[in-house]
Structure 1
Amino acid sequence: MITQKQKTLAIYTLPLVLLCIPLVGNLTSNEVNWSASDFLIAGVLLSTVAILINLARTKIKKQSHRILICIFVLIVFALIWIELAVGIFGSPFAGS
C-alpha cells in the first residue's frame, strides 16, 4: 500500500521527471530548442499544478469535489501550456 508521504513525494517529483524529457531532447537533438526561460516557465507551471493538486488532495474531503478540482486544474494547465506553445487564443504571450 502506498502511504500519503509516498503519494506526496510522487506528486512533487513528477514535474522534475517531466522536465527531464525536454532536457534530454535538448542535449541529444537539434529539433528540441528550449532556452533557460522555457525550462523556468515549464518548471513554474508544473510545480504550480503539483502544489494545487496536492492541496486539493489533502484539504478537500469529498472525493467527487477533489476529482473535479483536479480535472479543472489540469484543463487550465493544458490551456495555458497550449497558449504559450502555439497561441490558440492569440494573446500577447503566445509562442508563435
Structure 2
Amino acid sequence: MNVSNEDLNELWKILRMLGWSAVTLIMLAPAVAMQFTSEVNWTASDFIFAGVLLIGGGALIELVAWRVKNPVIRIGFSLFVIAVVGLVWVEAAVGIFH
C-alpha cells in the first residue's frame, strides 16, 4: 500500500481538528464535573496550568507544522509533544516521578 503526501496532508487536517477538540473537551471536563460532584475540585490555578500546558503544546505543534511540510515529520513531532504533555500532566496530577 502506497500512501501519498496528499493523503497524509488530509490526515493531518483531521488530526488537527481532533487535537483542538480534545483540548477543549479536556478543559471542559473538570468544569462540568465540578457541577455534579465535590470530588473534582479544580482551582483557577489548576485551569491556568492545564490551559498553558495543553494550549502551549498545541501551539508548539502548530508552529512546527507550519514550518515543516513533510507530513510524516509533522505527525511524528506531534506524537512526541503529546507524549511529553501527557508525562507532565501525569507528574503534576499524581507525582509518579517524584
Answer yes or no: same fold by TM over 0.5: yes
Aligned length: 88
Could you list the per-position Cα deviations for residues 1-58 of structure 1 after superposition, in whole angstroms to 9, with x for gaps in the alignment?
x8xxxx8787656533421111001122111111111111001101101101211222
Where does the alignment leave 5 or more consecutive residues of structure 1 unmatched? Answer: 91-96
- Structure 2 unaligned runs (5+)? 1-9
Deviation at 1:88, TM superposition (A): 1.0
4+ residue runs of structure 1 moved beyond 6 angstroms? Answer: 7-10
In the alignment, the residues of structure 1 paired with residue 93 and residue 73 of structure 2 have an alpha-carbon distance, to the nearest angstrom, of 30
CA RMSD of the aligned region, Å? 2.5
Q: Which residue of 2 aligns with 1:22?
A: 30
CA separation of 1:82/1:11 partners in 2, compared to 1, >3 Å: closer, same or farther? closer
TM-score (norm: length of structure 1): 0.75
Equivalent runs, 1:1-96 vs 2, <5 Å: 14-90=22-98
Partners in 1 of 2:24 and 2:52 — Cα distance? 11
Q: State the identity as a percent.
A: 38
Of structures 1 and 2, the one with the larger relative CO (CA 8 A, separation 6+) is: 2
